Amino acid sequence: MSTAEHALSFDLSRYRVEPGSTVDLSWWQTDENEGIDKKIGRDITKVLNDRLETAQELLWAEDKHKVLLVLQATDTGGKDGTIRHVFDGVNPQGVRVASFKKPTDTELAHDYLWRVHKHAPSTGEMVIFNRSHYEDVLVVRVHGWISEEKVQQRFHHIREFERLLADEGTTIAKFYLHISKEEQKQRLQSRLDEPEKNWKFATGDLDERKLWDDYQKAFADMLSQTSTDYAPWYVIPADRKWFRNLLISRIVVDNLEGLDMAYPPPEDGLSDIVID
């Protein structure tokens, strides 16, 4: 088997979190590359991008299925870069990105899932959550803003929320971008060293970095508690950006191509039409 063939066929299941398992993030090396050369990996990602573009057009044309993709990571984990590279070329008419930042006063006046549910995909649409409802069992937990009892209650809410979406025809795939603490250090430093990246740096990121171990525990518990058959989590080794893109591309393409979609039938009599 050639390296290119391997890049299109290596086993994806080991990156998927088995429902009911207790996750240890050390199971996944952050710099994994499956023995694939970087150049070949990038070339294969372009091939997958073409397949994704075709599948997404079919999703939009058929107007039957809904697709939700969730991205979570520590600071500098690569969510924006993933969106930029993996979904390059897809039709923006059928793809939407929803980003969840600090809740507004209006959002805080509602239940914590209110601001999320309204961004769920409609038929024919693919929606990418850049951060998500999982912020409400991560940041608030690490900082001790809610009780452990409330955290467990929210895990239950989230499982049932995602079950509702799945029961209503939504295909869900969730990606945790797994980077090392050293890689985060380098990425933060590059934001300081390169003037054109200064705008990305916030001093508050350093305060969050001090809580690295607490976040790792929170992410591991999140994966353990909320990876289900209908809304699985994938742990994506993300130190190597090109491999991150390759792996997510393969998973997304596999999900879309597995929907057994077909273009709608044409109107009767089209073969008899002559355009003057």
Contact between residue 240 and residue 34 where contact means Cβ atoms under 8 Å apart: no
Residue 17 pLDDT class (50, 70, 90 cuts):
very high
- The arithmetic mean of pLDDT across residues 49-77, rounded, is 96
Residue 167 pLDDT class (50, 70, 90 cuts):
very high
Listed residue (245, 186, 174) closest to 23, CA to CA: 174
Which of 117-121, 199-203, 253-257, 265-269 is least confident?
Answer: 265-269
Q: For the purposes of burial, counting CB atoms within 10 Å of the CB of 229, is it exposed (0-12), middle (13-18) or buried (19 or more)?
A: exposed
Strand residue runs (E) in the chain:
66-73, 95-99, 126-130, 170-178, 233-237
CA-based radius of gyration for the chain = 20
Residue 222 pLDDT class (50, 70, 90 cuts):
very high
Identify which has the larger pLDDT, 7 or 171: 171
pLDDT value of residue 149: 97
Domains of the chain: 3-261 (3.40.50.300)
Identify which has the larger pLDDT, 2 or 66: 66
Residue 4 pLDDT class (50, 70, 90 cuts):
confident
Q: Is the pLDDT of residue 2 over 90?
A: no
- The arithmetic mean of pLDDT across residues 207-231, rounded, is 97
Contact between residue 57 and residue 116 where contact means Cβ atoms under 8 Å apart: no
Identify which has the larger pLDDT, 28 or 273: 28
Contact between residue 27 and residue 233 where contact means Cβ atoms under 8 Å apart: no
Instruction: Give the model confidence (pLDDT) of 28-48 as tens digits.
Output: 999 999 999 999 999 999 999
pLDDT value of residue 28: 96
Q: Is the pLDDT of residue 271 over 80?
A: no
- Tell me the whole-structure pTM to 2 decimals: 0.95
Instruction: Give the model confidence (pLDDT) of 111-165 as tens digits.
Output: 999 999 999 999 999 999 999 999 999 999 999 999 999 999 999 999 999 999 9
Q: What percent of the chain has pLDDT over 90?
A: 84
pLDDT value of residue 270: 72
Please state, rounded to an integer, the average pLDDT across all residues of the chain. 94
